[in-house]
Amino acid sequence: MLSILKPLAIRFVTLAGVLVAVLLLLVVSLGATGFSDDLLNAQVNEEIRAFRIAQANTIRNPEALEAAVAERQAQLEEFYGLDKAWYTRMFPQVWRVLKLDLGEARTLRTAEGSNSVSDIVLERLPYTLLLLLTTSIITAIVGLTVGVRMAMRAGSRIDRGMAYFAAISFAVPAWWLGILFILVFAFKLDWLPSGGMYSTPPPDGRFDRWLDLGKHALLPIITLVPVSVGPYIYAVRTMTLSVAQEDHVVLARAKGLPDRTIMRRHILRVAAPPIVTGLVLGLTGTVSGAILTETVFNWRGMGRLYFDAISGTPDEGVIVALTFVFTLIYVIARFVLDILYVVLDPRVRI
């Protein structure tokens, strides 16, 4: 048991270091390049312009107007932290995030009006997981079923056709496919809603609200599945076919074992670790890649929250917190994979 726990503990510490490194690189890229200050200065200038126009109607003295504008600009610079160096503003924020103190957002709010970043993230996370877990389950079922069948019919027309489909599926952007499906299923055929999460006005009953949410989730899921299932089918097919050509499989066939037994015990059991790796890491990659997809469908999940945090009024705290959450999901997934390797492949224990 100790021989298993020690490598897992080392792996956990290594992944935790990855988490810290990603946050530090994010802070340096935002701060040292001046990108963060440029965004905040642009926001301050926009607010000052609106303030000047509003005050010009009530303050006729030019000197008094300039004094009011200068005072307001100083307040805004202090509010956004522009009166300090970028590292004094952002590095302490990394330490707070690592302590799970995500702080407060400047402009973003929850549906109840809370500006706590933790509340905002927890409000959006279930909706993203609804899309991505459903997509991953469908992808896993279709990928395993079709991929194994393609491996058993390698070189056939269906196998070659699936290879073309996998290449197209990998190349097509999810946001472009989402726009196309909106035009077809929402506007042309009027089968599904074009976006949002609930109808206007939303249903009253809890069960009716869940049904309405599921109806609005259909189109994003229909968009995400074709983009992810093609590469996964081809990956399962390739890994299964590679294992099927190994010596232990040839020996099992020479013994006269049934094809189902060979496929289950001698092929899929050996190919299980890389297959599970592709599925889990594909899920974590889709979490961060859902920004444009959720924006296209106006789906208020983590991806749309990231888009809102970097557009309009930039919110550094939310950007750092979301990067932490996305990286944390990746770290947890990698650690779960290490545990699954021990379960799926006994050789890992040695």
Provide the token pair at 335: 């650690």
pLDDT, one tens digit per residue, over 70-104 is 888 888 877 777 777 777 777 776 777 777 666 77
Q: Quick check: is 177 in a domain?
A: yes
| Segments forming the whole domain that contains residue 46 | 2-98
Q: What is the pTM of this model?
A: 0.70
Q: Quick check: is 103 in a domain?
A: no
pLDDT, one tens digit per residue, over 300-349 is 888 888 888 877 666 777 877 787 777 777 777 777 777 777 777 666 55
Q: What distance in Å separates the CA atoms of residue 103 and residue 248, rounded to the nearest whole number? A: 56
- Whole-angstrom CA distances from 21 to 7, 87, 162 are 21, 16, 39
Domain match, 294 and 235 both = yes
C-alpha 265: how far from its chain's center?
34
Find the length of the chain: 350
Q: What distance in Å separates the CA atoms of residue 43 and residue 343, rounded to the nearest whole number? A: 52
Q: What are phi and psi of 333, to 5 degrees?
A: -65, -40
Q: Quickly tell me which residue has 């389950």 as its tokens.
A: 137
DSSP symbol at 116: B
Question: Domain total for the chain?
Answer: 2
pLDDT, one tens digit per residue, over 239-277 is 888 887 778 777 887 888 887 787 777 777 777 777 787
Check which CATH number belongs to the domain holding 159 and give it.
1.10.3720.10
